[in-house]
Amino acid sequence: MKPPAFEYLAPTSIEAAVAALGGEEAKVLAGGQSLVPMMNFRLLAPSLLVDISRIPGLDDIREDDDGLRIGAMTKHHQVETSHLMQKHFPIVTATMAHVAHLAIRNRGTIGGSLCHGDPAAEWPGLALLLNAQLKTTRRVIPAGDFYEGALATDLADDEILTEIQLPSLAPGTGWGFEEMARRSGDFALAAVGATVHLSGDTVAEARIVAIGAHETPLRLTTAEGLLKDRASIAAVAVAAMDEVSPNSDLHGSADYRRHLVGVLTRRALTAAWERAA
């Protein structure tokens, strides 16, 4: 449970951090709440850690005309207690309660969770659901293009995520986020997030995302289409089960996770519908 030896660099500018990366054996150290346990288990053995926590200006939440901009080093606990977040994205505030425990949320970062890319983690799913734009040291990547597989992103070796842009939701958008985990704070066996925007009694816009049920967070586009075509929530939930391809492991079979996706889709959509104005 002790990590292998590594060099440690704590740059104070993003340029210096980028310059230090690029070698295959270098890793960015953000909050370290996923990287350090993996190193303690010796699942990872980077030769260089670039600690970006001393770079100023990467950990605030700001509002602009397009929505919110969240620095990549913002901690889960900061998000959970942010009035701006509660006002504009109450789904994010509510979902933070599912992210591990207080001490992990105090230290773990949004950017770190997104770049780690655990398919059962909340942030990758939230980013996809809310159509987040992920700003890096090189470009802006839509959340839908960010993941290539489990724990694999489109980021280059010497590219650092710096900011998450959350575009404003249409006024009156309803939301729901439902998760099932074995214990409080565990990774999700499965979770489903949904946003619904109504126009009169028709669905103008709906997004449904499942996590823990595929190798990446997954938009359930068939289910979304059915909802817009006025299918019942029960029918949409059945369609959602057919869209995911979960794995079996010690904690739950693929069939059980698929079943959960149906149940959680129904609950998340019901909540979103009730909240939609």
Partner 1 sequence: MRYLEAGKKHTVRFTLNGRVVEGDGEPRLLLSDFLRQTLGAFGTHVGCEHGSCGACTIQVDGKAVRSCLLYAVQVEGKTLNTVESLATPDGLNDLQAAMQKHHGLQCGFCTPGILMSLTQLRADEPDADEARIRDVLSGHICRCTGYDGIVKAALDVFGKV
For partner 1, the binding residues in 142-201 under the rule CB under 8 A are 183-185
Q: Would you count residue 5 as binding partner 1 (CB under 8 A)?
A: yes
Helix (H, G, I), strand (E, B) or coil at 168: coil
Q: Taking CA 235 as the corner, what is the angle to CA 231 and CA 240, rounded to the nearest 5 degrees? A: 110
Distances (CA, A) of 129 to 104, 160, 195, 238, 265: 23, 22, 8, 20, 13
205 to 167, 170, 201, 221: CA distances (angstroms): 15, 9, 12, 12
By CB under 8 A, tell whether 249 contacts partner 1: no
Q: CB of residue 117 vs partner 1: minimum separation in angstroms?
A: 18
Residue 5 Cβ, how far from partner 1 at the closest point, in Å?
4
Written as six digits, the tokens of 258 are: 């698929």
Q: Any contact of residue 251 with partner 1 (CB under 8 A)?
A: no
Nearer to partner 1, 32 or 90 (CB): 32
- Is residue 238 a contact point for partner 1 (CB under 8 A)? no
6 binds partner 1 (CB under 8 A): yes
Nearest CA to 227 out of 202, 260, 199 is that of: 202
Which residues is 275 bridged to in the sheet?
none
Rule CB under 8 A: choose which of 27, 107, 207, 266 binds partner 1: 107
Is 47 one of the binding residues for partner 1 (CB under 8 A)? yes
Selected range binding partner 1 among 62-70, 96-104, 112-120, 158-166, rule: CB under 8 A: 96-104
Residue type, 169: L
* Count of residues interacting with partner 1 (CB under 8 A): 38
Q: Is 1 in the site for partner 1 (CB under 8 A)?
A: yes
Least separation in angstroms between residue 110's CB and partner 1 is 16
- Residue 194 one-letter amino acid: A
Q: Is 11 in the site for partner 1 (CB under 8 A)?
A: yes
**CB of 101 vs partner 1, minimal distance in Å:** 3
> Does 49 engage in binding with partner 1 (CB under 8 A)?
yes
53 binds partner 1 per the rule CB under 8 A: yes
Residue 49 contacts residue 31 (beta carbons within 8 Å): no
* Residue 15 in the binding site for partner 1 (CB under 8 A): no
* Complex with partner 1: residue 39 or 196, whichever CB lies closer: 39
B/e letters for 17-48, b = 16+ CB within 10 Å, e = fewer, are bbebbeeeebbbbbbbbbbeebbeeeebebeb
| Phi, psi (degrees; rounded to nearest 5) at 195 | -125, 140
Angle (deg, nearest 10), helices 233-243 and 221-228: 160
Query: From the CB of residue 140, how many other CB atoms can be counted at a distance below 10 Å?
Result: 10
Using CB under 8 A as the binding rule, whether residue 22 contacts partner 1 is answered as: no
Footprint of partner 1 (CB under 8 A): 1-12, 16, 29, 32-33, 36-37, 40-41, 47, 49, 51, 53-54, 77, 81, 97, 100-104, 106-107, 183-185
